[in-house]
């Protein structure tokens, strides 16, 4: 329980010290006096976000210090906030926020005004039910298993994508390798091929020239027949003149030489025999060389270097099949684990939803809502999340004969407050918090309903310490400790202050709450009667 709370430099609070009773504590005061600042200070001590707008700008740090009775001893919990940084201490020993919350998770339970808004937000309904179930270990395992399953799914799908990318890359490299292997990547071979092509490309012209000047041909231009005829004619007279004999001899030598030349020309003709198919093959081979050079760097050497690089890639390219199967199995295994935990949590929710609804409905009778009932409906979805696959929504009826509808569609402000308070009272029996803090959960409630709620809270204070901000005299009159928050002027500024009304002023404040600013004798008598009956 909280024995004492000290607040410094928080919004309109300069310095405030509050002592609490171990039972039923109420905080009252006019609107804007700073009642909720006391609740906010306790909440900040236990990890709530600190609003920069609430921090004083005069340079002094915000400080909250609370003396708690924990077991048989007193412990001092404190928090300092300055320049956007907070520090926490237990008995003046520094402790991290996470460690602080881990070591003392159940000291204080808060029920605030915005919790009623959560009741109207169907996305928050599953949290109400899970808090009632209190199977936090399973919820923790569910969250862990979900993130494990999602991580495995991502690894598996990423690998499939990588494998598809590598498959495309492998297909390209294989095609390129086959293309480069289809020719002999050698600069000397390319030069020889070009030389051969050039020779073949001119072969027809060469053969035409040789054919036109064939020494042994029958046309008039041929020399051999003429020379042979000359030899035959002059040989008859070689005995007459030595000169004729020498000419005949020389012409005979010339004929022999010409015949030899003619044979070589004939052989040369065969070498330069024009074959269009072979020329086409040469052109195709040269075209392949040119295409390879164009694709792979502009030269045979660059194509050779590229082929060596893709051959290395092909040799070291991973085999994805085994790894894909392994990750797929891991993904499916973790998905199954998640589904099993989610199903177990879902079954717990289904059972607890019925139980919780029945208990809340019992409290609604005590709050003058005898015909009102709530029902917590659970639907399993195909979508998975860290909270499982359940969709939880609270339905309600407020009048006899009506059909169940989503609670946000039918309940008024006062009804919502009573239903929310019923939730809080049910949750109190589930959780073991030593102190329950209620911040204006009685909005929209009045009359006999307020009296009944005051009675319920009074009974609850026999088991738990209650700290309640209220506007209702029916609730305040039943308290053990009444704290009145008001504004006053100090050092030329308005500050918030607190007064303990246990010894003096309790009945006067109840009277003010009954009648407004003008307190009458009748309202004072009525207040005393309410306190006496409480």
CB 348 within 8 A of CB 378: no
pLDDT in tens, the chain (534 residues): 999 999 999 999 999 999 999 999 999 998 889 999 999 999 999 888 888 778 877 768 899 999 999 888 999 999 999 888 889 999 999 999 888 888 887 788 887 655 667 788 899 899 999 989 988 899 999 999 999 999 999 999 998 888 888 788 888 888 888 888 877 777 677 777 778 777 777 767 776 776 776 555 555 456 778 888 888 888 888 888 888 889 989 988 988 988 888 787 777 767 766 567 777 877 787 788 888 888 888 888 888 888 888 888 778 777 788 889 999 999 999 999 999 999 999 999 999 999 999 999 999 998 888 899 999 999 999 999 999 999 999 999 988 888 999 998 886 767 787 888 888 888 877 766 678 888 776 777 778 888 888 888 888 888 889 999 999 999 999 999 999 999 999 888 899 999 999 878 899 999 998 888 788 889 989 989 988 886
Residues 2-48: tens digit of each pLDDT: 999 999 999 999 999 999 999 999 999 988 899 999 999 999 998 88
CB atoms closer than 10 angstroms to residue 502: 14
**Which pLDDT value is given to residue 144?**
96
Domain regions of the chain by residue span: 1-107+433-534, 161-316
**Which pLDDT value is given to residue 339?**
97
Tell me which architecture the domain covering 1-107+433-534 has in CATH.
3-Layer(aba) Sandwich (3.40)
Rounded Cα distance, 512 and 401, in Å:
41
Q: Which residues pair with 465 in a beta bridge?
A: 435
CB 484 within 8 A of CB 501: yes
3-state secondary structure of 521: helix
**Which pLDDT value is given to residue 181?**
82
The contacts of residue 295 (CB under 8 Å, 6+ apart) are 303
| Size of the chain in residues | 534
Rounded Cα distance, 82 and 39, in Å:
20
Question: Sign (positive/negative) of CA torsion 522, 526, 532, 533?
Answer: positive
Buried b (16+ CB within 10 A) or exposed e, 89-104: ebeeeebeeeebeeeb
**Which pLDDT value is given to residue 95?**
92
**Which pLDDT value is given to residue 374?**
94
Rounded Cα distance, 30 and 148, in Å:
52
Residues 262-310: tens digit of each pLDDT: 787 777 767 766 567 777 877 787 788 888 888 888 888 888 888 888 8
**Which pLDDT value is given to residue 432?**
62
**Which pLDDT value is given to residue 145?**
97
Report the candidate in 184, 190, 180 with the shortest Cα–Cα distance to residue 296.
180
Which tokens belong to 178?
Answer: 């086959």
CB atoms closer than 10 angstroms to residue 140: 10
Report the candidate in 395, 378, 390 with the shortest Cα–Cα distance to residue 120.
395
Residues 134-175: tens digit of each pLDDT: 888 999 999 999 999 999 999 999 988 888 887 888 888 888
The contacts of residue 381 (CB under 8 Å, 6+ apart) are 389, 390, 391
**Which pLDDT value is given to residue 220?**
45
Which DSSP state fits 517?
Answer: S
Q: What is the pTM of this model?
A: 0.63
């Amino acid at each position: 329980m909280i024995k004492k709370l000290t607040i410094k430099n928080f919004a309109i609070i300069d310095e405030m010290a509050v002592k609490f009773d171990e039972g039923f504590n109420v905080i009252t005061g006019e609107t804007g006096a700073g009642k909720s600042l006391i609740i906010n200070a306790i909440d900040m001590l236990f990890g709530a976000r600190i609003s920069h707008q609430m921090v004083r700008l005069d340079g002094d740090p915000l400080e909250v210090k609370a003396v708690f009775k924990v077991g048989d001893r007193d412990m001092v919990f404190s928090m300092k906030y300055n320049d956007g940084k907070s520090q926490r201490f237990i008995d003046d020993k520094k402790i991290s926020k996470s460690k602080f919350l881990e070591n003392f998770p159940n000291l204080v339970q808060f029920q605030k005004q915005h919790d009623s808004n959560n009741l109207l937000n169907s996305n928050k309904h599953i949290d109400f039910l899970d808090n009632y179930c209190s199977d936090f270990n399973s919820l923790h395992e569910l969250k862990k298993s979900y993130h494990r399953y999602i991580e495995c799914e991502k690894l598996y799908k990423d690998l499939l994508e990588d494998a598809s990318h590598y498959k495309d890359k492998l297909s390209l490299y294989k095609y390129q390798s086959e293309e480069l292997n289809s020719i002999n990547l050698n600069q000397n071979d390319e030069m020889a091929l070009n030389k051969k092509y050039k020779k073949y490309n001119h072969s027809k012209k060469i053969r035409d020239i040789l054919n036109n000047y064939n020494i042994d041909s029958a046309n008039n231009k041929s020399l051999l027949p003429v020379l042979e005829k000359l030899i035959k004619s002059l040989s008859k007279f070689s005995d007459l003149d030595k000169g004729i004999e020498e000419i005949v001899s020389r012409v005979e030598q010339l004929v022999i030489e010409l015949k030899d030349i003619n044979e070589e020309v004939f052989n040369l003709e065969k070498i330069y025999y024009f074959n269009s198919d072979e020329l086409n093959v040469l052109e195709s081979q040269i075209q392949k060389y040119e295409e390879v050079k164009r694709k792979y760097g502009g030269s045979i050497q660059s194509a050779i270097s590229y082929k060596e690089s893709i051959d290395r890639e092909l040799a070291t390219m991973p085999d994805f099949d085994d790894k894909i199967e392994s990750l797929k199995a891991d993904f499916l295994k973790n998905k199954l684990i998640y589904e099993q935990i989610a199903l177990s949590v879902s079954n717990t929710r289904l059972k607890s939803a019925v139980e919780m609804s029945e208990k809340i409905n019992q409290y609604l009778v005590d709050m003058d809502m005898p015909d009102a009932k709530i029902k917590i409906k659970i639907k399993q979805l195909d979508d998975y999340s860290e909270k499982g696959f359940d969709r939880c929504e609270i339905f309600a009826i407020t009048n006899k004969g009506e059909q169940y509808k989503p609670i946000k569609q039918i309940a008024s402000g006062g009804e919502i407050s009573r239903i929310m308070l019923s939730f809080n009272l049910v949750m109190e029996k589930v959780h073991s918090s030593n102190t329950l803090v209620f911040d204006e959960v009685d909005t929209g409630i009045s009359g006999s309903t307020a009296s009944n709620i005051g009675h319920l809270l009074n009974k609850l204070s026999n088991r738990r310490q209650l700290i309640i901000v209220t506007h209702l005299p029916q609730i305040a009159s039943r308290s053990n400790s009444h704290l009145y928050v008001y504004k006053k002027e100090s050092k030329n500024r308005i500050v918030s202050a607190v007064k303990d009304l246990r010894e003096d002023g309790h009945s006067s404040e109840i009277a003010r709450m009954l009648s407004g600013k003008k307190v009458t004798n009748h309202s004072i008598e009525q207040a005393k009667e309410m306190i006496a009956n409480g």
